[in-house]
Amino acid sequence: MDKVNIKKKFNLFKEYWTPKILGELNGNYVKIFKAKGEFIWHHHKHEDEFFLVIQGQLNIKLRDREIVLTAGEFFIVPKGVEHLPYAEEEAHVLLFEPKAVINTGEASSDKTVENPEWL
Amino acid sequence: MDKVNIKKKFNLFKEYWTPKILGELNGNYVKIFKAKGEFIWHHHKHEDEFFLVIQGQLNIKLRDREIVLTAGEFFIVPKGVEHLPYAEEEAHVLLFEPKAVINTGEASSDKTVENPEWL
């Protein structure tokens, strides 16, 4: 593979909450997505999920508190923990998670992306 | 866990080529290290290794080419591939790799860190 410039990859799509794959290693994907507005409450039964904000601000509601991430900050949502990501303004986020993860976890909605595309 | 501010973590140590652990997920560690000068040729027999530059420039020599990474760029070194990271000026790098990885891989040197510390 070649190196990947993350910001350039964000210029290749506009839609929100649709993860794109940038890389693969050890059974995990490196993905990015654009956030704006509210996602849905969901959890991932077997997988921890790493969120790193590249630009803007992403909020992650948990049932007992809220995490506020700005550029250069990350949070790991442990498996089984319900979470609701939202962003008031457009935010750019990098994910790191096992290949099996589907964005809406155990929930299913019009935001579900079963087979993310490679960028 | 709480959120992690990557730049603040880099303020907590000065030494080069000593990976520090910032997080754990699905059997992987999120680590950071400061690079300056030359590391050693090595490979990881069973693990792919993700390098994301946070600040500065990191060069990764491969046997057949060289990768030049600046802030916001990443490269995945596939398992088994020999590589030699180096940086002319101080660079700050985030790693993502299975917990079993030792920084010098199959090689052993005075740069080997068997048990990285948590920050």
Average pLDDT over every residue of B86-106: 93
**Could you read off the pLDDT of A3-39 as tens digits, one per residue?**
999 999 999 999 999 999 999 999 999 999 999 999 9
Q: What is the pLDDT of residue A114?
A: 85
Please choose, from the candidates A51, A43, A62, the residue with its C-alpha nearest in 3D space to the C-alpha of residue A95: A51
Average pLDDT over every residue of B37-44: 94
Q: What is the pLDDT of residue B114?
A: 85
Q: Does A12 touch chain B (CB under 8 A)?
A: no
Mutate to test the interface with A, among B6, B7, B21, B26 (most CBs of A within 10 A): B26
Q: Is the pLDDT of residue B93 over 90?
A: yes
Looking at this predicted complex, what is its ipTM? 0.94
Q: Is the pLDDT of residue B100 over 90?
A: no
The reply to whether residue B28 touches residue A26, judged by beta carbons under 8 angstroms, is yes
**Could you read off the pLDDT of A72-115 as tens digits, one per residue?**
999 999 999 999 999 999 999 999 999 988 888 888 888 899 88
Q: Is the pLDDT of residue A53 over 90?
A: yes
Pairing of strands B117-118, B20-25: parallel
Q: Does A57 touch chain B (CB under 8 A)?
A: no
Global pTM reads 0.95
The reply to whether residue A25 touches residue B48, judged by beta carbons under 8 angstroms, is yes
Residue with tokens 């956030």: A35
Mutate to test the interface with A, among B25, B70, B83 (most CBs of A within 10 A): B25
Size of interface A-B (CB pairs under 8 A): 86
Domain ranges for chain B: 6-118
Q: Does A92 touch chain B (CB under 8 A)?
A: no
| B31 contacts B5 by C-beta, under 8 angstroms | no
Q: What is the pLDDT of residue B119?
A: 94
Q: Is the pLDDT of residue A69 over 90?
A: yes
Q: What is the pLDDT of residue A12?
A: 98
Higher pLDDT, A110 or B35: B35
Domain A6-118 part of CATH 2.60.120.10: yes
Q: What is the pLDDT of residue B102?
A: 87
Q: Is the pLDDT of residue B27 over 90?
A: yes
Helix (H) or strand (E) holding A96: strand A83-98
**Could you read off the pLDDT of B68-89 as tens digits, one per residue?**
999 999 999 999 999 999 999 9
Give me the residue from B26, B54, B76 closest to A23, CB to CB. Answer: B76
Q: What CA–CA distances, in Å, run from A104 to A49, A64, B27, B63?
A: 12, 20, 22, 41
Q: Does B50 touch chain A (CB under 8 A)?
A: yes
Q: How far apart are CA B77 and CA B63, in angstroms?
A: 12
Q: What is the pLDDT of residue A116?
A: 92
